[in-house]
Structure 1
Amino acid sequence: MYDRILVALDDSASAKMALGEAVKLAKISSGLVYALSVVDRGRWPAEDSARFDFEPEPSAAANAATRIFEEAETLFRESGVSGKVRAIDAYGENVSEVLARAAEECDADIIVIGTHGRRGAQRFLLGSVAESLVRATERPVLLLRHDG
């Protein structure tokens, strides 16, 4: 069914729901979970003489990714599921495009991602990584909505 399941993680309740669902799918299908967090700490310079806008020290996002991965690895162990964790620095690239490319690289059978279910002005102002991901990939995407 699903041999390779990519789950997108951030520090949100909807991401935790997505991780739980990815683990359930992996348990049913004896699949492998790829837990991925995209960290955006800056952009590469446009030209050689430009100054790097890159934070060399671990950022709050990188620290959150470490905590998220520890939780994921604990859940993998407790559930008896095989899983790998990975952080990718987006360097200013669109998060949904980074996720879509990562799904291609690991040949994911499905992508699991949480969504906040924002509507109206909130969605317009904040955007939707989940919606953009659905548009950026040809792979199946399971959206889990957290209304909290």
Structure 2
Amino acid sequence: MYRKIMAAIADDDISWNALQEAIQIATANDAELCVVHASSTADDDEKNRNSKQMGADLLQRAKLAAGEKLEVETRLLEAEGEFGLKGISEAIATAATEWDADLLVVGTKGRRGLERLVIGSVAEQLVSAVGTSILLARSR
């Protein structure tokens, strides 16, 4: 059913749950898996280097989590820092489109009410920005 699955992750439990879902679906469908992480750019070069290194480490851990049965491509995405969550969601949406993903898997906290209105959600923004199927994985 799905041939190209992309998982967008951050360094939190919700993202790791989403990654596990993506790994299971990719394995069951003998599909390709691409794991992405978007980090915001900053004006400070040292912060940028640290952010990129943390993102690269995170993607390496994701590759290890998939094990040897599944080959995983990883991509470290750069999001415009001044656009906050919108920049992150745009970077992920662009990557999913360019890679021609059949399914995008992302974690969601499931915020409601005022918290959702004030904080927003990358997952929510992706639903309207991506033209592919999206699996929103909540924490277990």
Q: TM-score, normalised by structure 2?
A: 0.88
Counterpart amino acid of 2:41? R
- Count the aligned residue pairs: 134
Are positions 1:132 and 2:122 aligned together? no
Match of 2:74 in 1: 85
Larger Rg: 1
Are positions 1:106 and 2:99 aligned together? yes
Q: Percent identity?
A: 34
Preserved CA contact (<8 Å) 1:34 1:83: yes
**SS of equivalent to 1:143:** strand
Counting helix residues as a fraction of each chain, which structure ranks higher? 2
1:120 CA displacement: 1.6
Poorly superposed stretches of 4+, deviation over 6 Å? none
Preserved CA contact (<8 Å) 1:11 1:64: no
Match of 1:49 in 2: none
1:63 CA displacement: 3.7
Cα deviation per residue 1:44-71 (whole Å; 9 max; x = unaligned)?
Answer: xxxxxxxxx3x32223x43432332122
Match of 1:64 in 2: 54
Counterpart amino acid of 1:81? L
Are positions 1:4 and 2:4 aligned together? yes
Q: TM-score, normalised by structure 1?
A: 0.83
RMSD: 1.5
